[in-house]
Amino acid sequence: MPLLLLSLVKRVHGFSPVLRTRHQQWIRFASSTVNESEEKAALEERIKATGDQIRALKESGASKDTFAPLVQELQELKAQLDPTLAKPTKKTQQPKKQQSSEEESDFITARSVDYSKWYNDLIRVAGLAETSPVRGCMVIKPWGMSLWDRVRTELDAKIQNRGVENAYFPLLIPKSFLSKEAEHVDGFATECAVVTHHRLTADPDGSGLIADPEAKLEDPLIIRPTSETMIWYMFRKWINSHRDLPLKINQWANVMRWEMRTRPFLRTSEFLWQEGHTAHATAEDAVEEARAMLDVYADLCQDLLSIPVVKGVKSPSERFAGASDTYTIEALMQNGWALQSGTSHFLGQSFGNAFDVTFQDQNGEQQPVWGTSWGVSTRLLGALIMTHSDDAGLVLPPKVAPVQVVIVTIPPKKSDGPEVQQKLDATVDDLVEKLRAKGIRVKVDDRDYVRSGAKYFEWERKGVPLRIEIGPRDVQNEVCVFKYRVGDVEKKSVPLVDAPEMVESGLKEFQSALLERANARLQDGIRQGATYAEMKSLLENDEASEYNGPGLFLVPWKCDADNERKIKEECKATIRCYPLKENQEGMHKGQKCFYSGEEATHMALFGRAF
Amino acid sequence: MPLLLLSLVKRVHGFSPVLRTRHQQWIRFASSTVNESEEKAALEERIKATGDQIRALKESGASKDTFAPLVQELQELKAQLDPTLAKPTKKTQQPKKQQSSEEESDFITARSVDYSKWYNDLIRVAGLAETSPVRGCMVIKPWGMSLWDRVRTELDAKIQNRGVENAYFPLLIPKSFLSKEAEHVDGFATECAVVTHHRLTADPDGSGLIADPEAKLEDPLIIRPTSETMIWYMFRKWINSHRDLPLKINQWANVMRWEMRTRPFLRTSEFLWQEGHTAHATAEDAVEEARAMLDVYADLCQDLLSIPVVKGVKSPSERFAGASDTYTIEALMQNGWALQSGTSHFLGQSFGNAFDVTFQDQNGEQQPVWGTSWGVSTRLLGALIMTHSDDAGLVLPPKVAPVQVVIVTIPPKKSDGPEVQQKLDATVDDLVEKLRAKGIRVKVDDRDYVRSGAKYFEWERKGVPLRIEIGPRDVQNEVCVFKYRVGDVEKKSVPLVDAPEMVESGLKEFQSALLERANARLQDGIRQGATYAEMKSLLENDEASEYNGPGLFLVPWKCDADNERKIKEECKATIRCYPLKENQEGMHKGQKCFYSGEEATHMALFGRAF
């Protein structure tokens, strides 16, 4: 590109990069967080503005290449107005790099500038997920999927160790099933995807396909938002005697809850999860199961993901629809907001009664059955991102990292003979073999068309815990260079002979250092002794986009759904949980409720939440 | 139960067990294989007949207990007429065992009596799967799920070894996507579940819930029958340069194809599968990928499941909708029918063109992209069942068996002191530990409320490869008793000290013996040199229910879609494939087509198929 043209492009972009980035961010954000009509209006406004920009550039005599990115942006905006119907336009011969600048941008907004933008940028640049042409549904890309697959493998083993067996239940549920449990239907009927037909046919007007009126279902089906109803319908068949109890079933599945405001991983219409469902002979057994699974989830977060959590029980108004008690683990994100990261429900007899499930006890008497259900979802990946990552990109605990060590080879000079390359290759092969023998996930980046610096940035963005650099001179000196993603980030020269041992111990330290750091943040982030007025002034204007927000408030509280609702209205704060530890210790005893001034019944943890 | 009454029940059941079993079988079969109106009529007839039986018994003065099972059957039949709306009736105090005799029946129809019934019985008694209240969708029970999970784990590693990465794409697809590829839409539009609304609301007439007319989607969505369209839509964003190729993506997912005639595992509306999708710079690379994946599937079948397969390519009329070539593995079931067990498609440029995906080559030119897709599903479990199992139940190759060895302990006599039980327990614990150390999946069945004989039958039905019996006398003699599920089935006394080694080698032999046996059956089951008249007379009246049917026919054939269609009409036989081996060897050269008498272009494998 001629220098002048380059400077023009720079000027165009120099004038507008912030603006452009904002537009893109805003559009991406908007497309998943505001309602349809607002979104449309905003898009139309953007389309007009971008069109004006292009016209202005044209009039100023700029070349086609100069404004091609804007044209592309304009096309993308138009496609967003109706992505599903837009026939992709035939590509021109110009390189696509310019066409899809948004998708390929490496720019990450600083957390302090806008935490929400940072989150979306990070998901893009780390290649974790992408929006799809179906509203509210995301595409989980390989790097993100690999994280979830590892969570799945680890958690599945823990679940099976508790004597739970995997099974699979239908995706579709007769809509009448929902109504069987009165609270359950209230909780889910308003966010159901409804299947009404089983065939498409040509539209008589010739314009495409329509749901075939001849293939209308007599009774519509819904896509499962959760499977209690289907599973308890089957439990009725499977439970006869006390010997059939406890019955513990788990399924790994996709579920769908139609959401108007979505954020990747945190809130999407379709998400992946596991849902466990158990049936017991006594209430005590069921409660014990629900609490034991809460411990499993908390341990998973801490041991695998280095995420410390607060274990607690939900207030009555925050319970799962149909539960007697909902246990929760709450994690604290870097912006001071809480993220409910897993729940475990004691269902009492609600679904047992709704589906008429009983068992015959040792004395031949029919007895009611007690239930639990519990789940964690791809939401955990949102918690992972917002616990450890920084302005340079993702930060991954080694145990969950798809790649734990990346080896970047420094290519020999052209003047070096082929034996230099051979010796480098042999050294790297040997190191890789030794690391793999220790069970370490290692990748060699020897792409010859990418500069080393670009590789460093790329793997930092992707959160690989340790980078090892090795070049011809290192081989000669029998050393390599270690660089950790966070913590002790100084480059360090390490004798090759010691490298495998040091990688192993270094990754272990890295894992626990992340947990310690996150734990310190969690402890700092829980404020005690605040008055309601103080909490209100701190929270009422707090936004998700604000980095380092005020955090959580642990306060004495008299359980009261009306007051809870009022507080939510006044400062958008909710009771995240009644923490198990403080409540078991009776910390609230003798204290007055921070809101009503009455005798406190619980210690409550308040905060803003995703 | 008084002796007289018992004999009466026996008589009632003695008179009708075959009849009852037939009814139940027939009903279960019918509910999944015939169309709705036929099904309804048949059910109504059954309800009437069962009602008559009950009335007759009542009139003969039989007690309530005697005809309670028939009453239960009647209720079940009525529920089948409209399972989704039926509020479960409150249970009475009578034991449920009598109520749900169908579900708990251990009866397996002999293969020679009715192979289709045998298949359904086996799935029930082995606890593999169950019909669900949603038409055509099954519940996969823990024993079946464990088989699929093992297939998944093994196959996933093989897929990743080929440089394919896992990802996840939305369940829902805009209906307009289907139309982008002309053949694809023809293949799938008629069997789509269509989502038209995103909310339920109370029916104004007060009778329940309806799809909320206010929440109608502007453009309906379909539940994915397969994901080529969604994935190629994303590929367009991800593929720019030759450096982005090959792009190899896989997803493990549920898919839905609305089926009118279903059979568990073989053909269900919803099923689980993996679908791989790859994009390549050249046709050669894509074909190589498609064929390499076919080899992966064939190896998986042979090595893990002991299922030998014929690798081949489909005739043009049997290709996947949108493919240039469909490769297939075909397995031969015990009834002589073929089962397509996995397919791998060379897509040519069809989806690349439909979604306008191109890449920039080394010279800066835009080039078209070539594709493949490939998948195996829970159908493989049907192949597994119908390859090895027998009249006593499931037979599982050790590599896929959830439990490889079951240890049944023979309880001490009451006169024995507690030290006998202790010594038995210690011996069993020691054996279990040694087996687990070898990576063997072992289960101890020490239930004290089930007789040993019943345990033997139960684990045989479930297909556990090896049973070890051990009791106080064995402990004293330092031996245990081995009994294999098939093959060398004589009980064998084995010194405890040798047992772990012998289990290990025995399971290996068992695995390969199953493959050999199945392979011999496959070789025997492919008939060569038959005339068309011979094939027709053998196949035209062949049914799935007939054990040991005529099998497959390898014949010289001139590729011709019209003749293929005629043959299908005349004797229901289809071309399973053009086998790779025989066609590569040019076996058809110089031969005349067995149907048209013209110059043969291929060797074709004809047969009936599930």
Residue B289 inside a domain? The answer is yes
Interface test with B, best of A80, A151, A195, A258 (most B CBs within 10 A): A195
- What is d(CA B78, CA B50) in angstroms, rounded to the nearest whole number? 11
Closest CA to B229 of B179, B192, B177, B186: B177
Q: Measured between CB atoms, does A222 come within 8 Å of chain B?
A: yes
B271 and B254 Cβ atoms separated by less than 8 Å = yes
The length of chain A in residues reads: 610
Question: Distances from the Cα of A587 to the Cαs of A21, A581, A592, B327, in angstroms?
Answer: 48, 9, 11, 68
Q: Is A364 exposed, middle or buried (0-12, 13-18, 19+ CB in 10 A)?
A: exposed
CA distance A42 to chain B (A): 19
Higher pLDDT, B329 or B60: B329
Strand spans (E) along B102-188: 129-131, 138-140, 165-166, 172-174
The DSSP bridge partners found for residue A274 are A252, A376
Does residue B150 sit in the same domain as residue B239? yes
Q: At what angle do helices B36-59 and B64-81 cross, to 10 degrees?
A: 160
- What is d(CA A391, CA A485) in angstroms, rounded to the nearest whole number? 12
DSSP state of A559: -
Question: Distances from the Cα of B159 to the Cαs of A561, B36, B294, B300, in angstroms?
Answer: 52, 40, 11, 11
The H-or-E segment that residue A143 falls in is: helix A142-161
Residue A55 confidence class, pLDDT cut points 50, 70, 90? low
- What is d(CA B160, CA B166) in angstroms, rounded to the nearest whole number? 8
Q: Measured between CB atoms, does A572 come within 8 Å of chain B?
A: no
Dihedral angle sign, alpha carbons of residues B307, B308, B310, B311: positive
Residue A446 has pLDDT above 90, yes or no: yes
pLDDT of residue B184: 84
CB-CB under 8 Å, A88 with B355: yes
Note the pLDDT tens digit of each residue in B97-130: 444 444 458 899 999 999 999 999 999 999 999 9
**Which B residues in the span 358-417 are in contact with A, Cβ-Cβ below 8 Å?**
358, 360, 364-366
A468 and A459 Cβ atoms separated by less than 8 Å = no
Q: What SS3 class is residue A543?
A: coil
Does residue B371 sit in the same domain as residue B262? yes
pLDDT of residue B21: 35
Residue B321 inside a domain? The answer is yes
Does residue A498 sit in the same domain as residue A533? no
Inter-residue long-range contacts of B49-53, CB under 8 Å, 24+ positions, other chains counted: B50/B23, B50/B74, B50/B77, B53/B16
Q: Measured between CB atoms, does A145 come within 8 Å of chain B?
A: yes
Residue B216 inside a domain? The answer is no
Does residue A378 sit in the same domain as residue A477? no
Q: Measured between CB atoms, does A203 come within 8 Å of chain B?
A: no
Q: How many CB pairs under 8 A join A and B?
A: 249
> b or e along A457-473 (b: 16 or more beta carbons within 10 Å of the residue's beta carbon)?
ebbbbbbbbbbbbbbbe
Interface test with A, best of B147, B148, B195 (most A CBs within 10 A): B195
Residue A516 confidence class, pLDDT cut points 50, 70, 90? very high
Residue B15 has pLDDT above 50, yes or no: no
- What is d(CA A256, CA A336) in angstroms, rounded to the nearest whole number? 28
> b or e along A550-588 (b: 16 or more beta carbons within 10 Å of the residue's beta carbon)?
bbbbbbbbbbbeebbeebeeebbbbbbbbbbebbeeebb
Domain boundary among A360, A388, A416: A388
Q: Measured between CB atoms, does B154 come within 8 Å of chain A?
A: no
Residue A149 has pLDDT above 80, yes or no: yes
Does residue A281 sit in the same domain as residue A322? yes
Q: Measured between CB atoms, does A243 come within 8 Å of chain B?
A: yes
Residues of B in contact with A84 (CB under 8 A): 174, 176-177, 219
A328 and A312 Cβ atoms separated by less than 8 Å = yes
What would the two tokens of residue B403 be?
């439990």
Higher pLDDT, B192 or A62: B192
pLDDT of residue A151: 98
Q: Scanning every residue of chain A, which has its alpha carbon at the shortest distance from the alpha carbon of B353?
A: A90
Residue type, A287: V
Higher pLDDT, A56 or A307: A307
Residue B487 confidence class, pLDDT cut points 50, 70, 90? confident
CA distance B36 to chain A (A): 11
Residue A538 inside a domain? The answer is yes
Higher pLDDT, B77 or B459: B459
CB-CB under 8 Å, B355 with A134: no
Domain boundary among B495, B520, B545: B520
A170 and B139 Cβ atoms separated by less than 8 Å = yes
CA distance A187 to chain B (A): 11
CA distance A156 to chain B (A): 11
The percent of residues in chain A predicted with pLDDT above 90, rounded, is 77
- What is d(CA A286, CA A279) in angstroms, rounded to the nearest whole number? 7
Mean of pLDDT over chain A? 88
Note the pLDDT tens digit of each residue in B490-536: 899 999 999 999 999 999 999 999 999 999 999 999 999 999 999 99
The length of chain B in residues reads: 610
Q: Is A252 exposed, middle or buried (0-12, 13-18, 19+ CB in 10 A)?
A: middle
CA distance B84 to chain A (A): 6
Q: Measured between CB atoms, does B236 come within 8 Å of chain A?
A: yes
Does residue B160 sit in the same domain as residue B231? yes
What would the two tokens of residue B73 be?
């059957």
CB-CB under 8 Å, B220 with A138: no
Residue B345 inside a domain? The answer is yes
The DSSP bridge partners found for residue B528 are B554
Closest CA to A269 of B55, B418, B198, B575: B198
DSSP state of B87: P
Residue A26 inside a domain? The answer is no
Question: Distances from the Cα of A546 to the Cαs of A113, A114, A518, A608, in angstroms?
Answer: 8, 6, 18, 12
DSSP state of B10: H
Residue A40 confidence class, pLDDT cut points 50, 70, 90? low
- What is d(CA A255, CA A538) in angstroms, rounded to the nearest whole number? 36
CA distance B118 to chain A (A): 22
Closest CA to B601 of B575, B566, B567: B575
Domain boundary among B359, B388, B417: B388
Q: Scanning every residue of chain A, which has its alpha carbon at the shortest distance from the alpha carbon of B172?
A: A134
- What is d(CA A300, CA A294) in angstroms, rounded to the nearest whole number? 10
Task: Give the rounded distance of the alpha carbon of B417 from its chain centre.
Answer: 49
DSSP state of A520: H
pLDDT of residue A183: 84
The total of structural domains in chain B comes to: 3
> Which residues, other chains included, contact A80 with Cβ-Cβ below 8 Å and sequence gap of 6+?
A27, A31, A43
Question: Distances from the Cα of A561 to the Cαs of A565, A598, B569, in angstroms?
Answer: 6, 14, 69
**Which B residues in the span 507-536 are in contact with A, Cβ-Cβ below 8 Å?**
none
Residue A23 confidence class, pLDDT cut points 50, 70, 90? very low
Does residue A450 sit in the same domain as residue A599? no
pLDDT of residue A14: 33
Residue of A88, A179, A209 with shortest CB distance to B356:
A88
Closest CA to A103 of B167, B235, B96, B138: B235
Residue of A194, A253, A355 with shortest CB distance to B197:
A194
pLDDT of residue B98: 43
Closest CA to B383 of B329, B328, B307, B310: B307
Residue of B145, B223, B234 with shortest CB distance to A166:
B145
Residues of B in contact with A180 (CB under 8 A): 87
**Which B residues in the span 281-300 are in contact with A, Cβ-Cβ below 8 Å?**
none
Range of the domain at A418: 405-520
Does residue B359 sit in the same domain as residue B487? no
Note the pLDDT tens digit of each residue in A463-511: 999 999 999 999 999 999 999 999 877 899 999 999 999 999 999 999 9
Does residue B411 sit in the same domain as residue B355? no
Residue B400 has pLDDT above 70, yes or no: yes
- What is d(CA A233, CA B139) in angstroms, rounded to the nearest whole number? 11
Percent helix, strand and coil across chain A, each to the nearest 5: 45, 25, 30
Q: Is A163 exposed, middle or buried (0-12, 13-18, 19+ CB in 10 A)?
A: exposed
pLDDT of residue B105: 80
CA distance B192 to chain A (A): 5
Question: Distances from the Cα of A565 to the Cαs of A224, A297, A571, A573, in angstroms?
Answer: 29, 29, 10, 9
Residue B273 inside a domain? The answer is yes
CATH assignment of the domain containing A453: 3.40.50.800
Phi, psi of A223 (to 5 degrees): -80, 130
Residue B375 has pLDDT above 90, yes or no: yes
Q: Measured between CB atoms, does B160 come within 8 Å of chain A?
A: no
- What is d(CA B411, CA B472) in angstroms, rounded to the nearest whole number? 7
Q: What SS3 class is residue A476?
A: helix
CB-CB under 8 Å, B237 with A103: yes
Q: What SS3 class is residue A7?
A: helix
Strand spans (E) along B168-208: 172-174, 194-197, 200-202
CA distance A577 to chain B (A): 29
pTM: predicted TM-score of the whole model, two decimal places: 0.85
Note the pLDDT tens digit of each residue in A398-423: 999 999 999 999 999 989 989 999 99
Residues of A in contact with B216 (CB under 8 A): none
Tell me whether strands B325-332 and B338-348 are parallel, antiparallel or unpaired: antiparallel
Does residue A366 sit in the same domain as residue A409? no
CATH assignment of the domain containing A348: 3.30.930.10
**Section A108-132 average pLDDT:** 97
Residue B556 has pLDDT above 60, yes or no: yes
Does residue A514 sit in the same domain as residue A570? no
Residues of B in contact with A191 (CB under 8 A): 198-199
Q: Scanning every residue of chain B, which has its alpha carbon at the shortest distance from the alpha carbon of A236?
A: B88
Residue of A145, A175, A201 with shortest CB distance to B209:
A175
DSSP state of A465: S
Of A31-40, A335-344, B153-162, least confident by mean pLDDT is: A31-40
Residues of B in contact with A169 (CB under 8 A): 132, 139
Q: Measured between CB atoms, does B206 come within 8 Å of chain A?
A: no
Peptide bond into A316 cis (omega under 30): no
DSSP state of A553: E
Phi, psi of B351 (to 5 degrees): -80, -30
Residue A243 inside a domain? The answer is yes
- Angle CA B135–A139–A112, to nearest 5: 140
Residues of A in contact with B182 (CB under 8 A): none
Does residue B347 sit in the same domain as residue B465? no
Residues of A in contact with B160 (CB under 8 A): none
Of A97-111, B199-213, B276-290, B353-367, least confident by mean pLDDT is: A97-111
DSSP state of A34: S
> Which residues, other chains included, contact A529 with Cβ-Cβ below 8 Å and sequence gap of 6+?
none
